[in-house]
Amino acid sequence: MKAREVVLVDGIRTAYGRAGEKGFFWHTRADDMVVKVIRELLRRNPQVTPDMVEENVWGATTQEGDQGLTLGRTSAILAGLSEKCAGASIDRMCASGMTAVTTAASEIALGAFDIAIAGGVEHMGHHPMGATADPNPRFLVDRLVSEDAIVMGKTAENLHDMFPEISKEMTDEYAMLSQHKTARAYKEGKITKMIVPMTVYTPEGWVVADRDQQPRPDTTLEGLRDLHTPFRPMGKVTPGNASGLNDGACGVLLMSADKAKELNLQPKMRLVAFTYAGVKAEVMGLGPIPATHKVFKISGLTMDDIDFIELNEAFAVQCIAFMQEFKLKWPDEPRLNPWGGAIALGHPLASSGPRLMIHLMHEFAANPKAKYGLATMCVGLGQGGSVIWENLQGDGKKTPKKKAATKKKKK
């Protein structure tokens, strides 16, 4: 049986709030954020009626409370999808949402379903990462992993040890650029079009959550310089050069290419290839490197073929290590996170993978000559995930300038 082509028709997310009592989602349930995203995807694509959605897959790193009870099935019922719609929950820590998308895509490719919704949600205010986990004592007693593997910030400090040439000043510069790129993208209206406004109750009353709470547009190197290093005395990882703790949901509408044609829908992207790879848990930030090498091998593409790279910014140091590995331009590779990343926007764990994909979707729309995009991220406990998408919103031809640059590079 030949695998079917899988296309992404649309994607949307909530705004990303700060985790905790000061965040605008503090009194909002995680599953209600998921329902909002599902309903918005259907509202924006009226050709797809609720009874047509056959599968609903959602990632969540912490599957308990308002993120438990098989979120994919409960949110399908709450959102008004057909009782015939199947549902599932996925946990691959930070890549839970990414894995939900690639799982649903795989099901479509093999003919199990024609139409699916997939995404990720994380309410880190309600469910701090690993708060109720009970790791097997053998992990540490038998030294299967370093104690650092349980604390993500320590894994970032370990990367600094591996790459001493990556200074704190470099990570601060990367973080400042991320903030400024996001500020510019907000000013140009590029971020708000990805967000579905959601009316939520807060201690100040009812408000409309339609902008991310995390961005700090006035970030300067001077302001970042003296921030404390919570993971190591005299360390290099600070709250300024790392992603924040956030709440939010993001989802996409997937279907077979044939079904999109039948419904007269114009898909935004075609799935080219995806994969996941493992690394040592105590240096989990390296994950995108082997995953990306692996996905290039699967697809037959190289970094020269990629027009946009959406790399999740868990920590600036892992982004710089990725840039060095693939010889990207420092400090500001134009293809990399052109509208900023998780350091500015926030990182609600499972929600981040699908967010990378909808960034590609909008970047492709703004650049019709772009052909391929890469979404990649590191994963707690030592993994990486990479997905390549093809632009279906333009002619897919490289600009003459890029052709010349690629040719020169190959010489």
**Domain locations in the chain?**
6-126+244-410
Is residue 94 among the annotated active site residues? yes
Among candidate residues 350, 301, 338, the one with its CA nearest the CA of residue 101: 350
> CATH: 1.10.645.10, 3.40.50.720, 3.40.47.10, 3.40.50.150. Which one for 6-126+244-410?
3.40.47.10
Read out DSSP for 191-248?
Answer: TGGGB--EEEEETTEEEEE-S-S---TT--HHHHHT---TTSTT-S--TTSB---EEE
pLDDT of residue 396: 62
Can you give the pLDDT at residue 279? 98
Q: Which of 85, 250, 319, 378 is catalytic?
A: 378
H or E element in which residue 86 lies: strand 86-90
Q: How many angstroms separate the Cα of 355 from the Cα of each of 11, 30, 120, 161, 339?
A: 8, 16, 9, 30, 12
pLDDT at site 395: 79
Q: Which of 94, 127, 250, 319 is catalytic?
A: 94
Q: How many angstroms separate the CA atoms of 269 and 392, rounded?
A: 5
Q: Is 250 a catalytic residue?
A: no
Spell out the alpha helix ranges (H) of 110-167. Answer: 138-141, 152-162
Q: Quick check: helix, strand or coil at residue 104?
A: helix
**Lookup: tokens for 157:** 């400090």
Is the CB of residue 57 less than 8 Å from the CB of residue 100?
Answer: yes
Contact yes or no for 117/254 (Cβ under 8 A):
yes
Rounded CA-CA distance 373/298 in Å is 15
The pLDDT score that the predictor gives to residue 394 is 86
User: Coil, helix or strand for 94?
Assistant: strand
Contacts (Cβ under 8 Å, ≥6 apart) of 149: 139, 155, 281, 282, 284, 381, 382
Structure tokens at 135: 């790791």
So what's the pLDDT on residue 40? 98
Whole-angstrom distance, CA of residue 411 vs CA of residue 273: 28
CA distances 29 to 66, 75, 92, 120, 166, Å, are: 6, 11, 21, 14, 40
Supply the angle between the helices 168-187 and 316-325 in degrees, to the nearest 10.
Answer: 100
Instruction: Residue 362: name the closest of 8, 56, 5 by CA.
Output: 8
d(CA 398, CA 308): 12
Distance CA 386, CA 356 (A): 11
DSSP state of 92: B
- For each successive 10 residues of the chain (411 residues), what is the average pLDDT? 96 98 97 98 98 98 97 98 98 98 98 98 95 89 90 98 98 98 98 98 95 98 98 97 98 98 98 98 98 98 98 98 98 98 98 98 98 98 98 72 39 35
237 within 8 A of 229, measured Cβ to Cβ: yes
Concerning whether 359 is annotated as a catalytic residue, the answer is: no
By the 8 A CB rule, do 392 and 269 touch? yes
**Maximum distance among all Cα pairs of the chain, rounded to whole angstroms:** 62
Q: Is 276 left (phi over 0), alpha (psi -120 to 50) or beta?
A: beta
d(CA 116, CA 86): 9
How far is it, in rounded angstroms, from Cα 77 to Cα 392?
32
**Residue 408 DSSP class:** H
Closest residue by Cα to residue 95 from 61, 134, 125: 61
213, 18 contact by CB (below 8 A): yes
Q: Which residue has the tokens 């004592």?
A: 137
CA distance 246 to 79: 23
Instruction: For Cα atoms 51, 356, 167, give the angle at the middle one, nearest 5 degrees.
Output: 160
* Catalytic choice (123, 347, 359, 362): 347
Model pLDDT, residue 397: 60
